[in-house]
Structure 1
Amino acid sequence: MDKNVVDDLRREVGRIAGGGGAWQDITKPMDHRAFTPAPKDVRLRETGRTKDLEERGPFGRWLLMQVDREGFIGRLATAARADRSFPQNGDPEAVRKRLSEQGADPDMHEALDDAELDWSSF
C-alpha cells in the first residue's frame, strides 16, 4: 500500500474512534489518570434556601392542593379531600395519625413520606 493511503486511513480511523486525529497505539496501556473529570452536574447547584415552616404553610393544606399529581401522592390528596376530618392545618405527624386512625394501607403511608419530603424541600 502507498504510504499516503495508510496515513490517510490512520487519520480517518483515529478521527472516527475519537482519537482527535492522532493515532493511538492500542498495544500500549493507556493512562486513565490523565483524563479530566466530567463537569459538575448543573442540576445539583444550590438555587437558594428552603422556606421556613411559616413561609411554607401547613402541610395539610399543601397536600390538599396535590390532587392533580399522578401516583400515590395524588391518590393520597384525593383521599384527603374526601375526608371531612382531615387535619387541614396539621403537620405531617397529624396527617400520619389520621391515616393510622382510618386504617390506611402501607402505600398511603409511603406516599405520605414522599409528600413530606417534597413539602419540606420548598
Structure 2
Amino acid sequence: MNTEQKQAALMNVQREIGRIAAGGGTFQDITKATDYRAFTPAPKDARLKIEGRTKTGNELPSFGRWLLVQPATGLRAALITAAKADRQFPLDGTADDVRARLSACGAEGDMFEALDDAELDWCAL
C-alpha cells in the first residue's frame, strides 16, 4: 500500500468509528471529555402554564352570562336562543343552575347535550 491508500483507509476507519461512537460521522478523540453543553435543554418558559386553568375563579364569568355571549351556532343554537328568551334564566348561575332551569321548563335531551358541551368549553377557560 502506498501512502495515499493508507491515508484513505485511515480516513475510512475514522469515519466508521465516528459513526459507531455516535459522533455523526466525524472522528472524536475519546481521550478528551465530551462537551455536553450544546445538548443542555433550554430553560422553561415562564409564560407557559403546565396544568390547571388559565384564569382564576374570580376572573371567570358566571356560566349563565358566558353562555349568552356565545355565538348561537351548531348544537348550542337552540339552547342560547331559549336562554336569551327566558326571563328567569339564571344569569349569575352555574351550569347546574341552568340544568335545573331546563328541567323545570321541560327541555328536551338535545338541550342537555348542548349544555354539557358548553360546560366543557366554559371549564376550559
How does the TM-score come out when normalised to structure 2? 0.56
- Is residue 60 from structure 1 mapped to residue 32 from structure 2 by the alignment? no
Match of 1:92 in 2: 95
Distance 1:53 1:46 in 2: 16
Structure 1: 5+ residue runs without aligned partners?
Answer: 1-44
Shift, 1:73, TM fit: 1.3
Say how many residue pairs are matched. 77
Query: What fraction of aligned residue pairs are identical, expressed as a percent?
Result: 51
**How far, CA to CA, are the matches of 1:114 and 1:48 in structure 2?**
21
Partner of 2:59, secondary structure, is helix
Amino acid at match of 1:63: L
Greater radius of gyration (CA):
2
TM-score, normalization by structure 1? 0.57
Equivalent in the alignment of 2:6: none
SS at match of 1:87: coil
CA deviation profile, 1:36-91 (whole Å, cap 9, x unmatched): xxxxxxxxx9777422222111000000111x231121221111000000000000
The answer for the alignment partner of 2:86 in structure 1 is 83
Cα distance in structure 2, aligned partners of 1:46 and 1:57: 21
How much does 1:93 deviate? Answer: 0.5
Q: What letter is aligned with 1:91?
A: T
Distance between the aligned counterparts of 1:119 and 1:113, measured in 2? 10
Name the CA distance, whole Å, in 2 between partners of 1:61 and 1:52: 17
- Structure 1 runs, 4 residues or longer, greater than 4 Å off: 45-49
User: d(CA) in 2 for partners of 1:120 and 1:56?
Assistant: 9
* Letter of the structure 1 residue corresponding to residue 75 of structure 2: F
> Cα RMSD between the aligned structures?
1.9
